[in-house]
Chains A and B, each alone.
Chain A
Amino acid sequence: MIFVAVGTQFSFNRLVQYMDEWAVSDENTNNETVIAQVSDGDYQAKNIETQPFMDGEQYNKNIREASVFVSHAGMGNIISAREQQTPIIVINRQHKLGEHRNDHQADGIKWMEKLDGVYTASTREELYAHLNNIEQLKTADTSVVGSEQLSNYIADFISTGKR
């Protein structure tokens, strides 16, 4: 199963359409089913299951069970994918297509792609290239996942650090 999520703020019809068309294309050689959280998008998907929103438990379960998580370029989803040990492909919303208020997601994918387990795409072709290579997509190295060290360091500084 491939899980797709566009966030809760805006729709992202373009991504849903890409996934809807990919699902029935010859490129989907494993016959992966696709489940998508689509916010209030009005694109009518024909080949994949869509829901506007889902509760947190279902959402995390879908991320955990997916062979790959396809997401808008949102930081929250990157964190979740790493926690659930699922590779993630992020595609940026584009301001010029009316998909966001600005183009910060285009800047976002530039740092996101430096993380292991994170794959980025700006176009349909780039997205499909990753999907057609699903078995090669890797999850983040568990030894480097997590912010415990950072939080502990800050806590110790508050307790005992010098001004």
Chain B
Amino acid sequence: MSKKQKVLAIASPGGHWIQLNKICNPLEDRFDMVYVTPGSQYSSAKKGSRKIVNITDASATSKHKLIPLAFQLITLFIKERPSAIISTGAAPGAIAFLLAKVLPIKTIWVDSIANTAEISRSGRMVKKHADLVITQWEQLSNDEGIVYQGSIL
């Protein structure tokens, strides 16, 4: 029997994290999921059988944290050797996608359901680099690769 493919699931706390879990929890049968989130909200590391890794947060207003964050993500890629990364946002997920671009890792961006009028800022940042970009609002899908396949609701 072949080993399950490993998948990193990255999201900021709050709504992004709730959406990520809604999407990724059903994938746990098919893939070896590793959840990645900034901050200490899940510092217990393992909640049940789920593997959760904490990383540094970074945003447009905290650019000085980008270097430690990038370092942590690269370390994680080397250690876990994921086949794919899924993110619902925001900035840390986008940074992970940019780093993964040069590696054999598929990247899947699911834009937050909170973005009804246009793709989020971090989503626009990764749009050209991600292997799959998904919107949760049909009207935001287009012929240029933004896909709609239902929503987390």
Which A residues are closer than 8 A to B by beta carbons?
75-76, 78-79, 82, 107-108, 110-111, 114-115, 140, 144-151, 153-155, 157-159, 161-163
Contacting residues, chain B, for A76 (C-beta < 8 A): 18
Cβ-closest chain A residue relative to B101: A163
Contacting residue for A147 out of B15, B84, B115, B151, CB 8 A: B151
Tell yes or no: B27 within 8 A of A by CB: yes
Tell yes or no: B10 within 8 A of A by CB: no
Cβ-closest chain B residue relative to A108: B114
Q: Is the CB of B153 within 8 A of A163?
A: no
Give the dominant DSSP class at A's interface. helix
A151 to chain B, nearest CB (A): 4
B115 to chain A, nearest CB (A): 8
Q: Select the stretch in B47-55, B57-65, B71-79, B105-113 that faces chain A.
A: B105-113
A114 to chain B, nearest CB (A): 6
* Number of chain B residues close to chain A: CB under 8 A: 33
A91 to chain B, nearest CB (A): 17
Which B residues are closer than 8 A to A by beta carbons?
5, 7, 15, 18-19, 22-24, 26-27, 30-31, 83-84, 86, 104, 106, 108, 110, 113-116, 131-132, 134, 136, 147, 149-153
Q: Is the CB of B131 within 8 A of A161?
A: yes
Contacting residues, chain B, for A144 (C-beta < 8 A): 150
Number of cross-chain contacts by CB at 8 Å: 84
Q: Is the CB of B106 within 8 A of A150?
A: no
Q: Is the CB of B116 within 8 A of A147?
A: no
Task: Pull 5 A–B residue pairs with CB atoms less than 8 Å apart, ordered by A.
Answer: A115-B153, A150-B151, A158-B7, A158-B106, A161-B106
A146 to chain B, nearest CB (A): 8
Question: Assuming A79-B22, A108-B114, A111-B113, is B150 touching A158 (CB within 8 A)?
Answer: no
Q: Is the CB of B110 within 8 A of A150?
A: yes
B17 to chain A, nearest CB (A): 10
Q: Is the CB of B106 within 8 A of A157?
A: yes
A19 to chain B, nearest CB (A): 24
Contacting residue for B110 out of A108, A154, A158, A163, CB 8 A: A154
